[in-house]
């Protein structure tokens, strides 16, 4: 077992039951003006089982958490066509709707890991949409280097009790970090899995990590996120490998590692 944060042994992932996250600094993006610049964040509807959050990082590519690819009750991998990306969804409507044609998890992700912290490591997935989204008002996000301890970050996410519109929290920071995981002071809850974590410099928002889980450190509610710096290249390669390995254009989930398990985190609506 790898300890993600030696010295922070009080970290405990909240995978079962519902715990209300603190909403300090959380602002709901309910109007077109509120959401301007953030419509590339969308709700990932997972069949009839729940939802996660995802972010467009290319006209046809959505970044999210790997555990979102699994049915939370049965542990069975979802078929790509069961997943729909609703870009900029708010108040019953989205800016764009797209089905998913291909989905890959990071090659080192372990859905079956017994230790909860180990299930956070490499919890990243890349989804290829059935058609590109090309709208002047909806630009895919750039990605950037992982933040370090003390850096300010922001999160845009959907979550339980605020699933009808995204919310943004700009006033949080990196509490601790290393190459494979970050602890953030950001507020997250069920549905926030896969939400993009941003740094904003010179007015440009870049996705630097993805929300994997909520946790507690000495009784303080925090978020655990996975940095993108190195894993994103492996994800892109996995997506290309899945295309090369498919026959006749068949649509299938291509999870290069993982399998059945005790259930995904943060997909309950």
CATH of the domain at 179: 2.40.10.10
The predicted pLDDT at position 4 comes to 55
Tokens of 203: 């007015």
Q: What is the pLDDT of residues 210-261, one digit of tens each?
A: 999 988 888 888 999 999 988 999 999 999 998 887 644 434 433 333 333 3
> Is 40 in contact with 89 (CB distance < 8 Å)?
no
> Predicted confidence band at 49 (pLDDT cuts at 50, 70, 90)?
confident
Q: Is residue 10 part of a domain?
A: no
Q: Is residue 133 part of a domain?
A: yes
Q: Is residue 260 part of a domain?
A: no
Mean pLDDT of 66-71: 88
Q: What is the pLDDT of residues 178-206, one digit of tens each?
A: 888 999 999 898 889 999 999 998 889 99
Residues whose CB is less than 8 angstroms from the CB of residue 180 and which lie 6 or more positions away in sequence, other chains included: 2, 4, 121, 122, 226, 227
What is the longest distance spanned by two Cα atoms in the chain? 53
> Is 123 in contact with 7 (CB distance < 8 Å)?
no
CA pair distance 106, 93, nearest whole angstrom: 31
Helix (H) or strand (E) holding 137, with range, is: none
In the chain, the percentage of residues whose pLDDT exceeds 70 is 81
Tokens of 106: 């990071």
Q: What is the mean pLDDT of the chain?
A: 82
Mean pLDDT of 154-160: 93
Q: What number of other Cβ atoms are within 10 A of residue 80's Cβ?
A: 21
Q: Is residue 176 part of a domain?
A: yes
**Number of independent structural domains in the chain:** 1
Q: Is residue 221 part of a domain?
A: yes
Q: Is residue 159 part of a domain?
A: yes
More confident: 74 or 155: 155
The predicted pLDDT at position 5 comes to 56
Query: Among 231, 220, 263, which Cα is nearest to 50's?
Result: 263
The predicted pLDDT at position 73 comes to 74
Q: Is residue 70 part of a domain?
A: yes
More confident: 263 or 205: 205
Tokens of 128: 């290829």
Q: Is residue 154 part of a domain?
A: yes
Tokens of 261: 């398990």
For residue 68, give its domain range. Answer: 26-245
Q: Which of 15-29, 67-81, 249-263 has the highest mean pLDDT?
A: 67-81
> Predicted confidence band at 164 (pLDDT cuts at 50, 70, 90)?
very high
Residue located via tokens 């978020």: 223
């Amino acid at each position: 077992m790898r300890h993600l944060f030696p010295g922070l042994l009080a970290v405990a992932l909240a995978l079962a039951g519902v715990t209300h996250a603190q909403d300090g600094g959380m602002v709901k993006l309910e109007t077109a003006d509120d959401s301007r610049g953030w419509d590339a964040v969308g709700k990932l509807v997972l069949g009839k089982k729940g939802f996660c959050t995802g972010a467009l990082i290319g006209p046809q590519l959505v970044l999210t958490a790997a555990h979102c690819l699994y049915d939370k009750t049965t542990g069975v991998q979802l078929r790509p066509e069961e997943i729909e990306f609703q870009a900029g969804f708010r108040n019953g409507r989205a800016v764009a709707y797209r089905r998913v044609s291909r989905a890959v998890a990071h090659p080192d992700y372990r859905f079956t890991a017994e230790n909860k912290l180990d299930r956070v490591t490499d919890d990243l997935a890349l989804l290829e949409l059935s058609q590109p989204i090309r709208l002047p008002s909806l630009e895919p996000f750039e990605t950037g280097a992982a933040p370090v301890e003390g850096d300010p970050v922001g999160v845009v996410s959907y979550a339980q009790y605020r699933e009808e519109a995204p919310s943004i929290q700009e006033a949080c920071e990196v509490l601790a970090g290393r190459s494979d995981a970050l602890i953030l002071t950001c507020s997250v809850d069920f549905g926030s899995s896969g939400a993009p974590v941003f740094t904003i410099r010179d007015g440009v928002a870049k996705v630097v990590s993805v929300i994997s889980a909520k946790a507690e450190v000495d009784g303080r509610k925090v978020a655990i996120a996975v940095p993108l710096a190195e894993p994103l290249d492996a994800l892109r390669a996995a997506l290309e490998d899945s295309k090369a390995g498919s026959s006749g254009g068949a649509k299938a989930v291509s999870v290069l590692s993982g399998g059945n398990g005790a259930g995904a985190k943060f997909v309950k609506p």
